[in-house]
Amino acid sequence: MRHDGDLGNVKTDAQGVMNVDLIILPDEDDPTRGYIGLALVINDGEDDLGLGGNERSRIDGNSGGNLACSVIGRRQSLWIHQNPTQQITTQAAGKSSSDLLTL
């Protein structure tokens, strides 16, 4: 069972690198414009798709703890009305906001 919003299980290579191509086609009737502003959470285990036979399986697929979390947003270069003086660079685990997940 895939939960609403689940990307599904994604494999990493030997170095732990994961590559995912995600194309989001926003619906004109959807004020959120698809996934913008929602969270992306990477868990440390495989999702058992609700087949684990226990309550936790039905909630989160026994997928383990959270390894990383990010809010999906747009790249600053795509913002039309951005004032450069309002740009804020945040630090997260030694990476600037430009290194974090953006669309």
**Domain range spanning residue 88?**
1-102
Distance between first and last Cα of the chain: 28
Furthest C-alpha separation in the chain: 53
Model pLDDT, residue 58: 86
Please report, to the nearest 10 degrees, the dihedral formed by the alpha carbons of residues 57, 70, 75, 89 taken in order.
Answer: 180
Three-state SS at 41: strand
Pairing of strands 95-96, 39-43: unpaired
Which tens digit of pLDDT belongs to each residue from 25-46? 666 666 655 677 778 888 888 8
Which tens digit of pLDDT belongs to each residue from 71-91? 877 666 655 554 444 444 444
Structural domain total, the chain: 1
